Structure 1
Amino acid sequence: MRLARKYLPVFDWGRDYSRDTLSNDLIAALIVTIMLIPQSLAYALLAGLPPEAGIYASIVPIILYAIFGTSRALAVGPVAVVSLMTAAAVGQVAEQGTMGYATAALTLAFLSGGMLLLLGVFRLGFLANFLSHPVIAGFITASGILIATSQLKHILGVQGGGHTLVEMVERLITQLGQTNVITLVVGVTATAFLFWVRKGLKPALLKAGLTPRLADIATKAGPVAAVVVTTLVTWAFGLTERGVAVVGSVPQALPPLTMPDFSTEMLGALFVPALLISIIGFVESISVAQTLAAKKRQRINPDQELIGLGAANLGAAFTGGYPVTGGFARSVVNFDAGAETPAAGAYTAVGLAIAAVALTPLVYFLPKATLAATIIVAVLSLVDFKILKTSWTYSRADFAAVLATILLTLGLGVETGVTAGVVISIGLFLYRTSKPHIAEVGLVPGTQHFRNVLRHMVETSPTLLTIRIDESLYFANARYLEDYVLDRVVKNPELRDVVLMCSAVNEIDLSALESLEALNTRLMGLNVRLHMSEVKGPVTDRLGRTHFLEALSGELFLAQYDAYQALSAKPREAQQSGAQA
């Protein structure tokens, strides 16, 4: 039973399921279902798929996540960024509107689900940590701009096209003369209304006397009102005959049983895009899940989340969907609406299934411009240029990474942007750790504490050099430390002892060990002893399995104060410098 609860969290939260919990989950499910009907149709449009694919991708995946996922508020389904990445990836292997395009989307979901599942089973969720938050923020901001720009063709009623910002803008400009004025009026009106719903509807309803709960529900249902009104107007005035593009016929059925393409050619062509979608989807999902869980002091298991998302994507692959992940907007709505368990997601799936069977004929006259307006309003909240100002103020390296990710995504496309984001994140890590912060420290008078000689009034010894290493030692930075120590020793002939203060060193890899051995040998040739202090237990154990400690010319001190007492000559006067280090 313990194993079942570990891999099937439903056995954990399901034990305490009560009537009150059921009531709260049902209310949340109703609100989220109302929100998801137009949103699912819109995101399918963004992915280049038939509108029903968005609904299909929101039914079985939600149920599977409810069984395998650990977040009690995360709402899984199509999201804007993943939909855009799907369109970019699938568009390279099949033509939009063909059966091959839909099959490629299924295959993409299958590959993504399989990758996520394997990462979860082998507990490799930590790999997502290599994508830094500033880079993610930059990528999502650029993606939001691309998504909004890609939907302008539906607002204008033109063909549009392109995968980069330059291509999209260029084609829109050349096709401006073909703008359908009626479509433009519908699209602009719907966009303006949806922006007002987000900012002004709830205060207006509260002022009119509605309770906060009813006002909140009405605000969440705002997009549905836009869908209903524009659909009725299009039908009543025959706008389809005047060039207004509509959703058209949508199958009135539950998600079908579908089969991905398992050919080596297709799997090979979609492998890298699936990997990138898996990474971005997991990072977005786990960020939302952990944020919402923290508000209720709940725990999220990242590795189990990988399994839950993997199962959801596999479900999408075999039921007519495309890649899914945990969406920010729908999850926040689910949380605010009072969802207490993942069962709320399952009830949402039931609501969407009913909609798929009973309501799809009603969206025949739904203008694509309205769906485009829904997407534009949703994704512009993702655009956050404040990250540029924040990163510029805090770290020039982070600013460069954010700016590069934004420019590459806008200029070269989504896949290039996210690939660059991964490379830049890893590059930043290697750059920062390859030159670790090294501080020469001295004794704070009257204490046993040691601080940076450039920041504090400290005592030092003319024959003793103590260096505090503020980073683990590994292949990328070991040579830097070696060169630093030798340079200091050569410049100061008085030195007789060097102490490496290792209180911040969590690991020393084999390359670093070899560098320390070389440093020890070279210092002995200069008649200088090498010592180490405050080495952590696991690091000492590993060093003890080698000959390094036996060959060490100096000693291994438990505390830096012991080393100072044993090795220092007459202390110099306490000193301080205003320099920063």
Structure 2
Amino acid sequence: MECLEGESCGRRLHPTLTCCFSCNSLQKRLPFLQWLPRYSLQWLQLDIIAGITVGLTVVPQALAYAEVAGLPVQFGLYSSFVGCFIYCFLGTSKDVTLGPTAIMSLLVFVYTLGDLSLAILLTFISGCIQLAMGLLNFGFLLDFISYPVIKAFTSAAAITIAFSQVKNLLGLQDIPRQFILQVYQTFRKLPSTRPGDAILGILCIAILLALKWMKDHTSRPYQGMSICHRICYLIVWIMTTARNALIVVGAGLVAYSFHVMGLHPFILTGKTAKGLPQFQLPPFSEITPNGTKTFSEMVQVIGSGILIIPLMGLLESVAIARAFASQNNYRIKTNQELLAIGLTNILGSFLSSYPVTGSFGRTALNSQTGVCTPAGGIITGLLVLLSLGYLTPAFYFIPKAALAAVIICAVAPMFDLRICKSMWKVKRLDLIPFFVTFLLSFWEIQYGILAGTFVSIIFLCYPIARPEIKVSDMDGLILTPMSGLSFPAMEYLKDKIYEKTFTVSSPQSVTLDFTHVTAIDYTVVVGLAELLSEFKAQGVCLTFSGLQPPLLHMFSSSGLTELHHFHSIETSGGSFQEDESTQPLLRNGIVSLP
């Protein structure tokens, strides 16, 4: 019953049954079948190294991002391992790692306000929407969110996330989450800064920046380098790559040392639930002090997050996958990526996960360490599970200031206004959706994204509604649309013709040159019929030139009569010549080709 040839399988498995899918289609839905037969020992070694490296990064980041989402820190780890295993089998990028991210954590808090039941339900609904989009091949919808909108959103999100951690960095209490109020209250309460948290947080940031600088400026090993130098390089590489883990562990040891001496200069993470999450249904209702919230009431509370969260999750993950696929010379399949992240979120909701997506920082780290296949994610997932099983008691002593330092350093590279200089040189209009998104995102994230996308779509549609029309005057007017015609442009075309023809003292004959028009719609056909009637009533000649056969067929199907068509326009001398061999014949009021 197995087919290993890689060809379409049409053999009969039973007198009344035939194989309903090919091996190729199975490989498309399960991409690991393409690389698994070629898997080698060398690939295994590189995947293990990459998996351990990413795992040392994902654990401290997961704890920190849960704080951004307003959830207990263990839920960051609950959200970090499911995607590692699912993506190994369904993902088409060797580099992408799925898990909690700064932007997704911020969005989760915006729509759930730290309500755990809402966050888990949102994970399930997001996964269903993402899975449905993948099955229906709706990946093209992501292409309508322009790059300026994406960059503006990520830059605004970087500022919002980083500033939200200032309170933890300085040990401030009772700071609101709304950005404007947060800025006001943070500055107002600066005199209440806790010295211990501030010193530790700033020191952690300084060490993280120093380690990153070392990573960027350390020369790679070369042939002939001594063993001593190679060992030193390896030590530096491990320290700089796992810098987040080193900071969290080091800060935790410092806090524990003070705790032993009876001192408490830092605000600590506190007690963390031990062990793996329980496998259970997502909460489709919620018991509150004011009664039970039904599923519909929970959905109403989430509001527009039902659409924003899955779309932003897909956008972030697919954009990252495309970037690294281009960098490393392979291709991804967008709709298959939607299936992978959708199934990850659906299964993750049964394990108390909040919505996840692709992580740019961890994906970059995965790529830099030489990962060969998505199997490296299995090692990362196992490290997260080991942390949940054995390390959660140690999380008690992690200072919140250290986690804040990790988040601030992680999101800082996302802030990038250099793109404004490039847009100014390339197309200045793109600055409008950029700044609309950037500024409104500080008010409400969803409004910034929606407004920026809306402005981008307006810019996209404007040339369709107002196409360029070239006007020539040679013994009669020649109007040449320089692009396709569709229903938004019909009134504009009619106004242009009326302006040039009927607003002058002596109307001229008009020729519509459709050489550049390859497609029209029913509204255009109706509009042209109205033009023909108007010109006939005024006693003015309206002719057509350069109509393609598909357009002639559409005119004939609509029953359009008295259509005078010229195959080409001879501009020399300004005369119009009708080609009898290609002129459509009018028979019984219907245009047809000879």
Provide TM-score, normalisation by structure 2. 0.83
Separation of aligned partners in 2, 1:544 and 1:48: 64
- Of 397, 400, 409, 1:365 maps to 397
The equivalent of 1:69 in structure 2 is: 91
The answer to whether structure 1 residue 418 and structure 2 residue 449 are counterparts is yes
The answer to whether structure 1 residue 563 and structure 2 residue 575 are counterparts is no
Separation of aligned partners in 2, 1:15 and 1:540: 54
SS at match of 2:304: helix
Separation of aligned partners in 2, 1:240 and 1:547: 93
Q: 1:209 Cα deviation (Å)?
A: 4.0
- Of 258, 262, 266, 1:244 maps to 266
- Of 317, 322, 335, 1:285 maps to 317
Change (3 A) 1:124 1:543: farther
The answer to whether structure 1 residue 181 and structure 2 residue 187 are counterparts is no
Percent identity of the aligned residues? 29
Separation of aligned partners in 1, 2:220 and 2:33: 41
SS at match of 1:230: helix
Q: 1:539 Cα deviation (Å)?
A: 5.4
Question: Which of 24-33 and 160-169 deviates more?
Answer: 160-169
The answer to whether structure 1 residue 475 and structure 2 residue 487 are counterparts is yes
Separation of aligned partners in 2, 1:533 and 1:498: 10
Letter in 2 for 1:378: A
SS at match of 2:277: coil
Letter in 2 for 1:516: L
Q: What stretches of structure 2 of length at least 5 have no aligned partner?
A: 1-22, 222-227, 285-294, 578-594
SS at match of 2:414: coil
Letter in 2 for 1:232: L
Separation of aligned partners in 1, 2:458 and 2:61: 37
Change (3 A) 1:173 1:506: farther
1:54-133 correspondence runs (5 A): 54-91=76-113, 96=114, 101-133=115-147
SS at match of 1:364: helix
Provide TM-score, normalisation by structure 1. 0.85
Separation of aligned partners in 2, 1:72 and 1:420: 34
The equivalent of 2:207 in structure 1 is: 193
The answer to whether structure 1 residue 431 and structure 2 residue 462 are counterparts is yes
The equivalent of 1:316 in structure 2 is: 348
Change (3 A) 1:129 1:35: same
Change (3 A) 1:569 1:494: farther
Q: 1:433 Cα deviation (Å)?
A: 2.8
SS at match of 2:128: helix
Separation of aligned partners in 1, 2:553 and 2:234: 60
Letter in 2 for 1:425: S
Aligned length: 535
Letter in 1 for 2:204: A
**Does the aligned pair in 1 maintain the 2:471–2:477 contact within 8 Å?**
no
SS at match of 2:152: helix
Separation of aligned partners in 2, 1:424 and 1:162: 31
Separation of aligned partners in 2, 1:502 and 1:161: 64
SS at match of 1:439: strand
**Does the aligned pair in 1 maintain the 2:466–2:489 contact within 8 Å?**
yes
Change (3 A) 1:114 1:182: same
The answer to whether structure 1 residue 233 and structure 2 residue 245 are counterparts is no
Q: 1:346 Cα deviation (Å)?
A: 2.2
**Does the aligned pair in 1 maintain the 2:66–2:105 contact within 8 Å?**
yes
The answer to whether structure 1 residue 156 and structure 2 residue 170 are counterparts is yes
Letter in 2 for 1:218: M
1:535-546 correspondence runs (5 A): 535=548, 542-543=554-555, 545-546=557-558
Q: 1:31 Cα deviation (Å)?
A: 1.1
Q: 1:363 Cα deviation (Å)?
A: 2.4
Q: 1:115 Cα deviation (Å)?
A: 0.6
CA RMSD, Structure 1 to Structure 2 (Å): 2.7
The answer to whether structure 1 residue 135 and structure 2 residue 149 are counterparts is yes
Q: 1:116 Cα deviation (Å)?
A: 0.5
**Does the aligned pair in 1 maintain the 2:204–2:405 contact within 8 Å?**
yes
The equivalent of 2:432 in structure 1 is: 400
Post-superposition Cα deviations, 1:348-386, rounded to whole Å, max 9, x if no partner, equal 111211222122223221111111111111111111112
Q: 1:16 Cα deviation (Å)?
A: 2.1
SS at match of 1:499: strand
Letter in 1 for 2:460: F
Q: What stretches of structure 1 of length at least 5 have no aligned partner?
A: 442-459, 572-581
Separation of aligned partners in 1, 2:100 and 2:304: 20
Letter in 2 for 1:547: G
Change (3 A) 1:483 1:269: same
Question: Which of 397-406 and 183-192 deviates more?
Answer: 397-406
Separation of aligned partners in 1, 2:177 and 2:487: 40
Q: 1:432 Cα deviation (Å)?
A: 4.1
Separation of aligned partners in 1, 2:519 and 2:576: 34
Separation of aligned partners in 2, 1:240 and 1:183: 17
**Does the aligned pair in 1 maintain the 2:467–2:481 contact within 8 Å?**
no
